[in-house]
Amino acid sequence: MALRASPQPLRYHTLGLCGRIAWTGYHQKETAPGSRQCKGSATQSLVTVGNRKNHIARAIALAPPEGENAVMKEVRFPKLVTPRLLLRAPSERDIPAWFARATDVESASLAGDPVPDDISSGKQWLARSRQRLADGQAIQWSIDRAGISDAIGTITLSFSATDAKAAALGFVLARAHWGLGLGGEAAREVLRYGFETLALEQVEAEAAARNSASLRILAKLGFKHIGSFIDESDGEPCERFVLVGGNWRKDRDSNPDGLSASAL
């Protein structure tokens, strides 16, 4: 189960291939630094002079103080908890589970990600995840499930390079945990954090048109379809969605207990 790596790719801080949001964090083929190209879009810089102050402000807010030890870094990272899940900072112990997910060919295809050659690529994934956090570009959580020793997936908020109130949502779950409502449960908590704590005004997401499970999750979370496109990196037909903060708050207030696991 996976969303694709970066909605409206030219407007978000992302790494790797243009397109779907299901960011595993490792890409073998990358566009030129700071730019991406999708069908129907002109290549442009991700970070413009006009939004640089917002970018720097977020980086300062998210990055740990210089000299802070590993324990304090962990304390500062925004841990999130749901009835069945713990969302926490990725670490070295997550690399084997990441590699198992990243080499699942079907999942990688849905996500629009290349399959890594060997487990050493996991070090690149972890380094990029940490660097994006330090630079204020994204927050990526590893997803733990009670009773399971390894992380079952990742979920990411990638922040807009041009709009401080916008972000992109992405997640990848290991195949053994598909169909259990866990993707929706994690996504709902990250959306709550984004809208309530980070004061985001909208969150976008993209998925392959054939990825029916992820499309259902987005619909049940309240995302509205805003367009279709072809991901030029692999020719995959994709759908684009947006969730506006005001609409999310209305749904939250009308259903304070949240969506049930069976609904997602």
Q: For residue 164, how many other CB atoms are within 10 A of its CB? A: 18
3-state helix, strand, coil in the chain (%, to 5): 35, 25, 40
Of residues 234, 25, 240, 239, the one with CA closest to residue 112: 234
pLDDT tens profile 126-165:
999 999 999 999 999 999 999 999 999 999 999 988 898 9
The 3-state DSSP class for residue 236 equals: strand
Taking the C-alpha atoms of residue 130 and residue 91, their distance in angstroms, rounded to an integer, is 9
CB neighbour list of residue 218: distance below 8 Å, 6 or more residues apart: 3, 205, 207, 241
Which pair of structure tokens corresponds to residue 2?
Answer: 């996976």
Backbone angles phi, psi at 10, to 5 degrees: -70, -15
Q: What is the pLDDT of residues 113-129, one digit of tens each?
A: 889 989 999 999 999 99
Tokens coding 31: 């566009």
For 90, the 3-state DSSP assignment is coil
Give pLDDT, residue 107.
Answer: 86
Positions in the chain short of pLDDT 70: 1, 4-75, 255-264
Please give the sequence-ordered ranges of beta strands (E in DSSP) within 17-115, or none if there are none. Answer: 19-20, 80-81, 85-88
- The residue extents of the domains of the chain are 5-263
C-alpha distance from residue 77 to each of 71, 217, 252 (Å): 10, 26, 25
Q: Which CATH architecture has domain 5-263?
A: 3-Layer(aba) Sandwich (3.40)
